[in-house]
Structure 1
Amino acid sequence: MKYLRSVRGRMLGIAFVPGVALVVVALVIAAFLIHQADRTREQATETAAAADRTARAVVSLQAQRGEAMATPDHRASAYAIFTQRIDTTIAGLRDYARRAPDAESAYQQTTAVDLLCVAEGMYRADSLALAGLDSVTRRSFTTAVAAYRAQLAQLSGQLTETGREAYESITRSAEWSTLAAVEDALIAAEPLPIPESTWRSAAYSVSQQLGVLYSRQSQYAVQLTLDDGRRTLAGALAASTAILLSAVLLLVVVRRLVARVPVPVVPIMVPTVRTAIPRPRHTRSPEPRAPEPWPKKAVFEDLRRR
């Protein structure tokens, strides 16, 4: 029986090796995927913070550009300097979009950055118009208006359903039509078709709506990245649990199979010493009897006597 238990114990030990290997694999996979999920969450948080910083920096630089362009002698140089600084700031946010954990998140975040460029393009054209147009700045104004209109129309096909609805709401609004009419008149060097107060109100409304469109797209991209991190974490837990259960099931099945396998038992030969049976103390051994005479000798003895 000891030999039988020893053989079965060895068989269970052999089956224990792949079970432990499965457990180790499960732990490694879980650690890797949890690390990926945590990294994805950190990237989403960093992107959201970078988007907020970039938006604040752009607004601040836009205000500084408007103040600097108030001086007619430095209007063109101030416009070029601050526009370059704003483009550099937005380019930094674009780098965050490129480091997204998956292609879909990167695509949506890049779309959000492009919408920020559209809002900035509308604002830079408006700042040129407010400062007053001459032969030099009119060309910059024409380029800025054409660029943000074309980019916005191109991005409309990349937006989500909610984003497309917001885009259509902007482009079909009376404020958009009013602003477009003023911009066309300024490009053609014609008088304003509407009062300046109406123009300024329409420009402010369109600027706010473009800002809201960018903000919604940016939040959607960040939320998409966070959801990807949650899915990665859920996948890590599910995969690890499945592997651990497989290891436990393997050990249980092997244990039952080993219990049913007939193992030959080799008896162990142990030398034994047979002890003499003790005799009772009150008994005595019988006295030895005299040997009986040989029959032939007895006949000779009998003849001699006669």
Structure 2
Amino acid sequence: MKYLRSVRGRMLGIAFIPGGALVAVAVVIAVLLIHQAVRTRDTAVETAAAADRTARAVVALQGERSAAMAAPEQRGAAYSTYTQRIESAIAGLRDYARHAPDAESAYQQTTAVELLSVAEGMDRSDSLALAGLDNVTRGAFTSAVASYRADLARVVPQLTESGRMAYESLTRSAEWSRLTAAENAFTAGEPLPVAEHTWRSAAYSVSARLGLLYTQQSQYAVQLTLDDGRRTLAGALAAGTALLLFAGLLLVVVRRLVARVPVPVVPIMVPTVHAAIPRPRHARSRRPGLPDPWPLKAVFDDLRRR
């Protein structure tokens, strides 16, 4: 039996080791990047869902607060309870913003949360004014108005171009002027400079536009996170494909180079054991015969002739 070992084949096998390692590295990198992209996308979707839930919860709690503050005997308790619940909901959304996949997304989502807090501050002051101000609640009203105006002015530089345009459009509107005039009158304890229905219409319009500003900013932040996930996924696929193609090309080049090496095939002889042929049972073993007498007879005949 013969066993042939090719030196060229061994060289080719050794050369395939780095190519195989490169393929394995490409697969691992592609899997990790794809996993990161999927996680980024899931984070964006989860944040969008949380923002929607929080906005709905805040609006519902604001309505319950206004209804509960209609009763004078429970006005203070209702204001404190519902305000604390709304602030807790907004703080939960702020935690989502902190866990954004990148700094830019976290920045934009935090800006959106600040806009929601501004809208809540405006509604808080409005609910106090609607319930009726006295010597106790007038201080809380003044603090709420000053707080949401200062927060809005602070957040404006962080907005996108469209967000700043929406803010300028809001502050230049007639509704904003009427609401500001009414809030200043309430703070100073003076009569309303406009009719009550005009004040209520202006308050409703400003609240709706602040909510729309928050929605636009939140959608922009979520879209930014989704785009980052798509870029990560595209980069993962491109990097993995490039590494796989390079590994395949390397294997082809190595195979061709090894094929040109003039290395003969070296056979290695392996001794084999031939099985003995069994003899039939009826065959008898031959006894060793006597030496052939022919050489001695030839000598005698030769002597006789002489």
What band does the TM-score fall into relative to the shorter chain?
0.7 to 0.9
Larger relative contact order (C-alpha < 8 A, sep ≥ 6)? 2
For 1:17, the equivalent position in structure 2 comes to 17
- One-letter code of the match for 2:29? I
C-alpha separation between the residues in 2 aligned to 1:44 and 1:240?
24
Q: What is the CA deviation profile of residues 235-289 of structure 1, one whole-angstrom value per residue up to 9, with x for unaligned ones? A: 11011101101111111111122122333676889xxxxxxxxxxxxxxxxxxxx
Q: Alpha carbon RMSD of aligned pairs, Å?
A: 1.9
Asked if structure 1 preserves the Cα contact closer than 8 Å seen for 2:5 and 2:266, the reply is no
- One-letter code of the match for 1:80? S
Q: Relative to structure 1, is the Cα distance of residues 268 and 104 closer, same or farther in structure 2, using a 3 angstrom cutoff?
A: closer
Is 1:91 aligned to residue 91 of structure 2? yes
- One-letter code of the match for 1:115? L
Asked if structure 2 preserves the Cα contact closer than 8 Å seen for 1:3 and 1:266, the reply is no
C-alpha separation between the residues in 2 aligned to 1:267 and 1:124?
93
For 1:29, the equivalent position in structure 2 comes to 29
- Calculate the TM-score normalised by the size of structure 1: 0.84
Asked if structure 1 preserves the Cα contact closer than 8 Å seen for 2:6 and 2:266, the reply is no
C-alpha separation between the residues in 2 aligned to 1:30 and 1:267?
44
C-alpha separation between the residues in 1 aligned to 2:268 and 2:44?
70
For 2:135, the equivalent position in structure 1 comes to 135
- One-letter code of the match for 1:138? R
- Calculate the TM-score normalised by the size of structure 2: 0.84
Q: 1:135 is paired with a residue of what secondary structure?
A: coil
In the TM superposition, 1:31-110 aligns within 5 A as 31-110=31-110
Q: Relative to structure 1, is the Cα distance of residues 267 and 17 closer, same or farther in structure 2, using a 3 angstrom cutoff?
A: closer
Is 1:239 aligned to residue 232 of structure 2? no
C-alpha separation between the residues in 1 aligned to 2:58 and 2:34?
36
Q: Relative to structure 1, is the Cα distance of residues 131 and 3 closer, same or farther in structure 2, using a 3 angstrom cutoff?
A: same
Q: Relative to structure 1, is the Cα distance of residues 219 and 267 closer, same or farther in structure 2, using a 3 angstrom cutoff?
A: closer
- One-letter code of the match for 1:116? L
C-alpha separation between the residues in 2 aligned to 1:20 and 1:260?
21
For 1:187, the equivalent position in structure 2 comes to 187
- One-letter code of the match for 2:52? D
Q: Relative to structure 1, is the Cα distance of residues 115 and 268 closer, same or farther in structure 2, using a 3 angstrom cutoff?
A: closer
C-alpha separation between the residues in 1 aligned to 2:121 and 2:6?
82
Asked if structure 2 preserves the Cα contact closer than 8 Å seen for 1:68 and 1:74, the reply is yes
Identity across the alignment (%) = 76
Q: 2:136 is paired with a residue of what secondary structure?
A: helix
In the TM superposition, 1:1-306 aligns within 5 A as 6-263=6-263
Q: Which has the larger radius of gyration?
A: 1
Asked if structure 1 preserves the Cα contact closer than 8 Å seen for 2:7 and 2:265, the reply is no
**Unaligned residue ranges in structure 2 (runs of 5+):** 270-306
**Unaligned residue ranges in structure 1 (runs of 5+):** 270-306
Asked if structure 1 preserves the Cα contact closer than 8 Å seen for 2:163 and 2:217, the reply is yes
Asked if structure 2 preserves the Cα contact closer than 8 Å seen for 1:19 and 1:251, the reply is yes
Asked if structure 2 preserves the Cα contact closer than 8 Å seen for 1:4 and 1:264, the reply is no
C-alpha separation between the residues in 2 aligned to 1:145 and 1:267?
96
By how many angstroms is 1:47 displaced?
0.8
Asked if structure 2 preserves the Cα contact closer than 8 Å seen for 1:68 and 1:78, the reply is yes
Q: What is the CA deviation profile of residues 179-223 of structure 1, one whole-angstrom value per residue up to 9, with x for unaligned ones? A: 011101110101111111111111111001000000011111111
Q: What is the CA deviation profile of residues 10-38 of structure 1, one whole-angstrom value per residue up to 9, with x for unaligned ones? A: 11101111111111111111111111111
- One-letter code of the match for 2:53? R
By how many angstroms is 1:134 displaced?
0.7
Q: What is the CA deviation profile of residues 157-199 of structure 1, one whole-angstrom value per residue up to 9, with x for unaligned ones? A: 0001111111111111111111011101110101111111111
The number of aligned residues is 269
- One-letter code of the match for 1:201? S
C-alpha separation between the residues in 2 aligned to 1:266 and 1:206?
91
- One-letter code of the match for 2:176? W
Q: What is the CA deviation profile of residues 63-115 of structure 1, one whole-angstrom value per residue up to 9, with x for unaligned ones? A: 11111111112211211111000000111111111111111111111110100
Asked if structure 1 preserves the Cα contact closer than 8 Å seen for 2:11 and 2:258, the reply is yes
For 2:289, the equivalent position in structure 1 comes to none
C-alpha separation between the residues in 1 aligned to 2:221 and 2:267?
74
Asked if structure 2 preserves the Cα contact closer than 8 Å seen for 1:4 and 1:263, the reply is no
- One-letter code of the match for 1:33? L
C-alpha separation between the residues in 2 aligned to 1:59 and 1:122?
12
